[in-house]
Amino acid sequence: MKKHQTLVPLFILAVQLTSAVDFIFNTFDSSGVSLSGNATIESQILTLTNDATFSIGRAFYTSKIPTKQPNTTVVLPFSTSFIFAMAPYRNRLAGHGVVFVFSPHDGIEGSSSAQNLGLFNFTNDGSPNNHVLGVEFDCFRNQEFNDIDDNHVGIDVNSLTSVAAHEAGYWPDDGGASSFEKLELNNGRIYQVWIDYADSILNVTMSPVGMKRPKQPLLNVPLNLSDVFEDEMFVGFTASTGDMIQSHKILSWSFSNTNFSLSEGLITDGLPSFELPKTPIHRTKGFITALIVGISVFALACSVVAFFSVVRNRRTRKEKDEMEDWELEYWPHRISLQEIESGTKNFADQNVIGVGGNGKVYGGVLRGGSQIAVKVISRENGEGTRAFLSEISSLGRLKHRYLVGFRGWCKKDKGHLILVYDYMENGSLDKRVFECDENMILSFKDRIRILKQVASALLYLHEGWEAKVLHRDIKASNVLLDKEMNAKLGDFGLARMHDHDRTSGTTRLVGTVGYLAPEIVRDGRASTKTDVFGYGVLILEVVCGRRPVEAGEEGLVEWVLDASRRGELVTAVDRRLKRDGGETVDEEGVERVLRLGLLCAHFDPKVRPSMRRVVEIFEGGNEEAQQESLFVGDHDQGFSRGLGFTNPTFDEIAEGLSSSMAISCSGILVEGR
Ligand SMILES: *[C@@H]1O[C@H](CO)[C@@H](O)[C@H](O)[C@H]1NC(C)=O
Ligand SMILES: *[C@@H]1O[C@H](CO)[C@@H](O)[C@H](O)[C@H]1NC(C)=O
Ligand SMILES: *[C@@H]1O[C@H](CO)[C@@H](O)[C@H](O)[C@H]1NC(C)=O
Ligand SMILES: *[C@@H]1O[C@H](CO)[C@@H](O)[C@H](O)[C@H]1NC(C)=O
Ligand SMILES: *[C@@H]1O[C@H](CO)[C@@H](O)[C@H](O)[C@H]1NC(C)=O
Ligand SMILES: *[C@@H]1O[C@H](CO)[C@@H](O)[C@H](O)[C@H]1NC(C)=O
């Protein structure tokens, strides 16, 4: 720390031009920047977030800066550079990211944490009234904002859905176009970033600290900022954490709208690193496991190669040119591209019915006249292929009344894969529960029916097939509604196959913020119990008519829990259901189902019921059966014993449930949002 002292804490070259702003911070103190939220300055380093969950930290240059030539709409050029680190904490998954930002106001108003990066909130995201430009360094893949991966740099104009994005990294000066070097954002290493704007072009470049600035920018985007910027703007940084935490640090920063070489004044040597110390690799359990796994994978790979070379030799030459090895396995579902093209009017824009995490969805008609939904997945990166394979391998062979029907697939050009599903006339469940027309809103009865149907689909995935299938992304927008308003669980893009009785060892985090169980956030392990957690959150949101994480508010689980503690659980029900002589809801039913939701979303996976038990609770018409089903089984017995009940009633257990949650508030209140 001592090495990099303040060279020029702040110097302003405002001589000829009143609009000129130039400053350079090689260290930070409280006089140069104004801090808000949980931002602090630690050891002269600007620390936007620490290990607090669901936290926002913002810091801006103390005064607004002019961004346009006086009395015109012409945007001034600018050049900025900064050195940053995302420092992970041991045994925690890291998130969510840091953004360089121009904003009309300072403070944290209008922003929320987790995936919103402290940049926008749920209501104002996408509004042209924001007048915000951000360059995000994002280490969580958010499907709702079409994030390309979990390690990217994106340009955000008034919205978290980036106008342009690229995997983080750089092209070395001596390499060709194929020599891209990936940089992992959240590993504690320090990186330098350069952002330059001139002649309506925005360039973003990054590299490891100490390297000469790469000539080719990572992002080079035409952008007219004259309607985005107000005449004067605050400039600075924002970062946020959610369930996943890391410390977002800015070590130094220069900004200028006159001198594009000012960034050369940043000191790049003698800086600290925030990488976690590693235990010697050969001693770790992981190494031994990896060794064993490696050997078995190699053996398996050899036999697979041998198998496919036999198969391949049997095939005709023509097929060989058109197909890849893995396609063989999925051959039966193939539909011809011509049929899909004519069915969707050649993928016409007016046929687009939705945009999902993986790509666009088109409506269309097959030759026989049946309506279909066609999902086009871009295959530019390997990600697309993997998502495709997993989607095919699970959905293609699974059939259930309450799962979206999968019809087939094909390839388009080199870069695209196409999946064909049954068309769902009534769209997705979220459109009927959250902000929608009164006449679109679902009645309480319908909501319960749909929840039951989703439960039975999920039980089928967990137990109804020779391999256990985890859904991993249960949420209202993944529940679709057919003509008769029956639920169909969809989007298996994230599902992976697991043989029964084998725990999954993956550490790659998939899912959606707000539906992730605490243990999956802690160690990335998905299980049937993490699906049950997502289902519990689904119950709560569908009954309460609230999204799981609404900007500026406590999490939904906590909110319902609060109502339960006050003994006013029934008040949590969606208010629109009771208004204007609408259906009067069965209060006992509301309480019962909310308690079930809380039980499923319990922070302790051992307490959560299995999907089988959830279905039994829904179906067991009489009280007796419902109590039985709640308490039979090791986990629940342990749970009720722990609460001192020998033969508890439903109400007792529910009461016990909320008090046990209150006792373990450090678990659920912090982790369980
Ligand atoms: C700051 O951190 C605390 C926890 O230490 C958290 O409760 C609070 O919401 C955070 N504030 C902001 C604005 O993020
Ligand atoms: C810009 O307009 C203001 C009044 O609207 C005027 O006082 C000022 O002189 C103008 N500046 C320039 C550089 O024309
Ligand atoms: C989002 O921020 C805007 C201000 O930009 C505010 O009016 C609105 O109430 C906020 N919404 C939520 C849900 O906090
Ligand atoms: C952006 O990058 C391009 C390509 O390297 C370069 O020609 C252009 O001058 C750069 N613009 C700015 C404002 O740095
Ligand atoms: C940018 O947009 C503004 C207003 O929309 C327009 O007046 C101006 O000509 C545009 N600038 C460029 C360089 O296209
Ligand atoms: C621009 O900044 C560089 C680096 O700090 C400095 O050496 C140079 O003198 C500055 N140029 C002008 C014109 O101020």
**Domains in the chain, ordered, with CATH?**
2-265 (2.60.120.200), 325-422 (3.30.200.20), 429-660 (1.10.510.10)
User: Nearest ligand, CA of residue 228?
Assistant: 5
Q: Ligand 1: which residues within 6 Å by Cβ?
A: 37-38, 52, 55-56, 108, 113
Q: For residue 115, how far is its CA from the centre of ligand 2 (angstroms)? A: 42
Phi, psi of 156, rounded to the nearest 5 degrees: -115, 115
- List 138, 243, 473, 604, catalytic entry: 473
Helix (H) or strand (E) holding 303: helix 285-314
What does each C-alpha distance from 567 to 381, 537, 589, 605 come to in angstroms? 51, 20, 15, 25
DSSP classification of residue 79 = E
Beta strand pairing call for 246-256 and 65-66: unpaired
Q: For residue 13, how far is its CA from the centre of ligand 2 (angstroms)? A: 22
pLDDT < 50 stretches in the chain: 1-17, 280-284, 307, 309-322, 325, 328-329, 331-332, 493, 497-508, 580, 622, 624-673
259 lines ligand 6 (CB under 6 A): yes
- How many other CB atoms sit within 10 Å of the CB of residue 73? 12
Q: What single letter denotes the amino acid at residue 74?
A: V
What does each C-alpha distance from 388 to 331, 413, 617, 624 come to in angstroms? 14, 15, 35, 45
Q: Ligand 2: which residues within 6 Å by Cβ?
A: 70-71
The C-alpha atoms of residue 15 and residue 193 are separated, in whole angstroms, by 28
- CA geometry: angle 529, 530, 536, nearest 5 deg: 90
| Residue closest by Cα to atom 9 of ligand 1 | 55
| Residue closest by Cα to atom 8 of ligand 2 | 71
Contact yes or no for 602/668 (Cβ under 8 A): yes
Nearest to 630 by CA among 595, 664, 589: 595
- For the question of residue 227 being annotated catalytic, the response is no
User: Nearest ligand, CA of residue 73?
Assistant: 5
Burial of 640 (0-12, 13-18, 19+ CB in 10 A): buried
Helix (H) or strand (E) holding 587: helix 587-600
Q: Measured on CA atoms in the order 421, 424, 428, 431, is the torsion positive or negative? A: positive
227 lines ligand 5 (CB under 6 A): yes
Helices (H), 129-231: none
pLDDT score at 582: 54
Q: Candidates 54, 101, 113, 121: which one to mutate for ligand 3, based on the most atoms within 8 Å of Cβ?
A: 121
Q: Which atom, in ligand 6's list, is nearest to the CA of 265?
A: 5
Q: For residue 203, how far is its CA from the centre of ligand 4 (angstroms)? A: 6
The C-alpha atoms of residue 233 and residue 625 are separated, in whole angstroms, by 63
375 is in an annotated binding site: yes
- DSSP assignments along 196-208, one per residue: EEETTEEEEEEEE
pLDDT score at 13: 37
Contacts of 287 (CB under 8 A, 6+ apart): 281
Q: For residue 270, how far is its CA from the centre of ligand 4 (angstroms)? A: 30
The C-alpha atoms of residue 439 and residue 540 are separated, in whole angstroms, by 22
The C-alpha atoms of residue 463 and residue 444 are separated, in whole angstroms, by 28
The C-alpha atoms of residue 203 and residue 169 are separated, in whole angstroms, by 14
- Three-state DSSP at 529 gives helix
pLDDT score at 201: 97
Nearest to 456 by CA among 241, 617, 633: 617
Distance of CA 403 to the CA centre of its chain: 23
Q: Which atom, in ligand 1's list, is nearest to the CA of 240?
A: 14
- How many other CB atoms sit within 10 Å of the CB of residue 501? 6
- How many other CB atoms sit within 10 Å of the CB of residue 416? 18
User: Nearest ligand, CA of residue 20?
Assistant: 6
Q: Candidates 155, 200, 220, 262: which one to mutate for ligand 4, based on the most atoms within 8 Å of Cβ?
A: 220
Nearest to 410 by CA among 472, 331, 313, 350: 331
- DSSP assignments along 335-398, one per residue: --HHHHHHHTTTT-GGGEEEE-SSSEEEEEE-TTS-EEEEEEEE-SSHHHHHHHHHHHHHHTT-
Nearest to 387 by CA among 408, 353, 359: 359
User: Is the peptide bond preceding residue 96 cis, with omega within 30 degrees of 0?
Assistant: yes
Q: For residue 178, how far is its CA from the centre of ligand 4 (angstroms)? A: 20
pLDDT score at 382: 52
Q: For residue 220, how far is its CA from the centre of ligand 5 (angstroms)? A: 18
Nearest to 53 by CA among 514, 508, 561: 514
Place of tokens 């539909």: 335
- How many other CB atoms sit within 10 Å of the CB of residue 51? 12
Task: Please give the structure tokens belonging to residue 632.
Answer: 């039979």
User: Nearest ligand, CA of residue 551?
Assistant: 3
551 lines ligand 3 (CB under 6 A): yes
| Residue closest by Cα to atom 5 of ligand 2 | 71
Distance of CA 326 to the CA centre of its chain: 29
- DSSP assignments along 457-475, one per residue: HHHHHHHSSSEEEE-----
Task: Please give the structure tokens belonging to residue 432.
Answer: 């009927």
